Amino acid sequence: MQKKQVYTRISAIQGLAFNSLKQLISWSNDFKVDQPQIDTQHESLFKLAVEASELSRSPADKDKLITKFEEFGILLDEHFRDEEDVLVEIGYPMLKGHRAEHKALLSEFKFIRQRLSTWGGEPAFQEKAFVVLNFMLGVTVGHILHSDVNYARCMQKDLLKQADICLPDDGP
Ligand SMILES: [Fe+2]
Ligand SMILES: [Fe+2]
């Protein structure tokens, strides 16, 4: 099922020209959630995704791309733990669902890393590079710019004391 999920999403990224992809995953200060540690980690994840997109252009960079992907996964794991600590601290009402998203992304990462360990010769490069970039796109544009934005709104709500901006999910 996970394999299907990964390969279904690839088709979306295959249509993107390199420059539009790079533009899509370029960091902007507008993405900040106003929590310095989290913002630094988000920015680093976007930066690693841009670097990976550059490495995905030539099969000669295959090993560097794998190393970049590993680096991305290590930071992602650390970031999710730190972010969940912050969400506990602010009493984020949708923590359960957010944690589940983190868990799904980490298991997708492990699945892809395992597949990359059997990476074949040059003909397979483009396909595998797409899998890597697709995952990074899912984390940056898919998760950080959508799901993380929701808790940023709740943090602001906390400051503004507006109770109706974020709604709880079905439990802690
Ligand atoms: Fe995040
Ligand atoms: Fe998150």
Contacts of 167 (CB under 8 A, 6+ apart): 93, 94
Burial degree of 129 (CB within 10 A; 0-12, 13-18, 19+):
buried
Which ligand is located closest to the Cα atom of residue 41?
A: 1
The pLDDT, as a whole number, for residue 121 is 61
Q: How far is the CA of 126 from the centre of ligand 1 (A)?
A: 28
Is residue 12 in some structural domain?
no
Q: Look up the CATH number of the domain holding residue 123.
A: 1.20.120.50
Residue 11 lies in a domain: no
Ligand 2 centre to CA of 144 (Å) is 6
Q: Any idea which ligand is nearest the CA of 150?
A: 2
Q: Determine the straight-line distance between the first and last CA of the chain, rounded to whole angstroms.
A: 27
**How many angstroms from the chain centroid is the CA of residue 153?**
19
Residue of 157, 171, 144 lying closest to 83 (CA atoms): 144
69 Cα to the center of ligand 2, angstroms: 18
The whole-number pLDDT of residue 153 equals: 82
Please count the structural domains in the chain: 1
- What type of residue is 157? K
The predicted structure's pLDDT at residue 154: 80
Task: Tell me which ligand sits closest to the C-alpha of residue 95.
Answer: 2
Q: Note whether residue 8 is domain-resident.
A: no
Q: Quick count: other Cβ atoms within 10 Å of Cβ 148? A: 18
Instruction: Tell me how far the alpha carbon of residue 38 lies from the centroid of ligand 2, in angstroms.
Output: 9
pLDDT at 171: 45
Helices 95-116 + 125-137 axis angle, to 10: 170
The answer for residues whose C-beta is within 8 angstroms of residue 12's C-beta and 6 or more apart is 134
Does residue 165 sit within a domain? no
pLDDT at residue 52, as a whole number: 95
Ligand 1 centre distance from Cα of residue 106 (Å): 13
Q: Would you write out the chain's pLDDT as a tens digit for each of its 172 residues?
A: 455 555 555 555 555 666 778 888 899 999 999 899 999 999 999 999 999 999 998 889 999 999 999 999 999 999 999 999 999 988 888 999 999 999 999 999 999 999 888 776 655 788 888 899 999 999 999 999 999 988 888 877 655 555 555 655 554 4
What tokens does 105 get? Answer: 């992304």
Spell out the residues 6+ positions from residue 112 whose beta carbon is closer than 8 angstroms to its own: 6, 69, 131, 132, 135
What is the pLDDT at residue 172?
45
- Supply the range of the domain harboring residue 51: 35-160
Cα(138) to centroid(ligand 2), Å: 12
pLDDT in tens, 78-104: 999 999 999 998 888 899 999 999 999
